[in-house]
């Protein structure tokens, strides 16, 4: 779900541009979404903060007409799976029994389920197959595992980090350069990015809309150079792939809302795309997934979002704890009733 601030910012800008005080400056606005999916992210916030970030709480919601879509398209070929997924989204049970799904107990098992017969080497096959985890560190671990399966030498790209601005009152508390290097934040490339030729990556910035180089778009690494990376697109419509040289780009972010300074990180805008988080897979339809339930979900809609990415039950496997396979079949589910339709 989108944060209500996004709606309100867009509405206010359109009011100013069009000099019209009607919602969105009088322009018809069409939005779509699924209340059962992951709620807006509120850093450090609890249940009340997450609910307060919903568009349902926005003053704009009263001006919306709601039309409900009732026919499932993604799981239309597997109605039993569709009904089960919907019940997870509604929160019919606090604990879900996942024993009906194929289990895997290691990165190797997950790799073999997603990419049998070395299908990770074919970008057209592998781009729709993803390992999903609750935590960034587990997604990163599987990304690195797949990278190790690719032949050839790797190249490491290191970021440069500087402080853009500072609050004079924070002068004694500014982080040193080495500390800046270790800061990790969603949507920002790591200080250390390791790549190989043939790796499938996702872009972390919009570069060129006309060429299809958009944020989260998938590309293939073709060659590695000291100051740039050659990539190619992965066309789906029968067109020819396009080739581009990607150089380091600047990302601006704050470590926290209370920080009196912004950080500028200059890095290659690529991340490995074999794994993602439950939050990061929203709106995607995937061909095969492995859902890592070793770490429990902790907020509204995470389990539903991950498990609803595929079309049928045979396209999903569950990674469980090897030492406790029976207990791991039962997974906690979080649903905030206030966010449902």
Write down the pLDDT at residue 235.
Answer: 86
What is this structure's pTM? 0.90
Write down the pLDDT at residue 189.
Answer: 96
* Residue 257 neighbours by CB distance under 10 Å: 7
Indicate left, alpha or beta for 262 from its phi (over 0: left) and psi (-120 to 50: alpha): beta
pLDDT tens for the 341 residues of the chain, in order = 789 999 999 999 999 999 999 999 999 999 888 999 998 888 888 899 999 999 999 999 999 999 988 888 888 899 999 999 999 999 999 999 999 999 999 999 999 999 999 999 999 999 999 999 999 999 999 999 999 999 999 999 999 999 886 554 554 566 677 889 999 988 999 999 999 999 999 999 999 998 889 999 999 999 999 999 999 999 877 788 999 999 999 999 988 777 778 899 999 999 999 999 998 898 889 999 999 999 999 999 999 999 999 999 999 999 987 665 555 578 999 999 999 97
Task: Tell me if 152 sits within 8 A of 197, measured CB to CB.
Answer: yes
Six token digits for residue 192: 């250390």
Write down the pLDDT at residue 254.
Answer: 87
Listed in sequence order, the residues at least 6 apart from 267 whose beta carbon sits closer than 8 Å to its beta carbon are 157, 159, 160, 189, 190, 191, 193, 248, 249, 251
* Residue 290 neighbours by CB distance under 10 Å: 26
Q: How far apart are CA 319 and CA 291, in angstroms?
A: 6
Listed in sequence order, the residues at least 6 apart from 106 whose beta carbon sits closer than 8 Å to its beta carbon are 322
Please identify which residue in the block is written with the tokens 């950080």.
Answer: 263
């Amino acid at each position: 779900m989108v944060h209500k601030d996004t709606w309100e910012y867009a509405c206010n800008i359109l009011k100013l541009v069009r000099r019209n005080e009607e919602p969105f400056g009088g322009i018809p606005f069409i939005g779509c979404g699924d209340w059962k999916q992951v709620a807006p992210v509120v850093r450090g916030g609890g249940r009340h903060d997450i609910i307060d970030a919903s568009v349902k709480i926005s003053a704009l919601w009263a001006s919306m007409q709601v039309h409900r879509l009732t026919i499932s398209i993604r799981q239309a070929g597997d109605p039993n799976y569709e009904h089960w997924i919907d019940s997870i989204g509604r929160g019919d049970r606090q604990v879900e029994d996942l024993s009906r799904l194929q289990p895997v107990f290691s990165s190797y098992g997950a790799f073999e389920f997603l990419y049998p017969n070395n299908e990770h080497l074919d970008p057209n096959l592998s781009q729709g197959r993803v390992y999903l985890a609750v935590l960034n560190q587990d997604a990163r671990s599987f990304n690195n595992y797949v990278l190790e399966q690719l032949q050839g030498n790797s190249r490491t790209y290191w970021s440069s980090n500087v402080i853009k601005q500072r609050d004079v009152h924070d002068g004694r508390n500014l982080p040193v350069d080495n500390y800046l290097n270790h800061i990790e934040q969603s949507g920002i490339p790591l200080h250390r990015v390791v790549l190989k030729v043939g790796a499938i990556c996702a872009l972390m910035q919009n570069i060129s809309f006309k060429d299809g180089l958009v944020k989260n778009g998938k590309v293939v690494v073709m060659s590695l150079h000291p100051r740039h990376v050659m990539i190619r697109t992965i066309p789906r419509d029968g067109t020819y792939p396009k080739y581009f040289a990607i150089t380091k780009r600047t990302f601006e972010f704050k470590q926290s809302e209370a920080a009196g300074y912004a950080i500028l990180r200059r890095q290659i805008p690529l991340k490995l795309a074999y794994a993602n988080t439950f939050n990061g897979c929203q709106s995607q339809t995937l061909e095969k997934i492995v859902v890592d339930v070793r770490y429990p979900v902790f907020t509204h809609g995470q389990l539903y979002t991950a498990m609803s990415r595929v079309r049928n039950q045979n396209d999903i496997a569950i990674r469980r704890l090897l030492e406790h396979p029976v207990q791991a079949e039962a997974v906690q589910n979080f649903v905030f009733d206030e966010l449902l339709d």
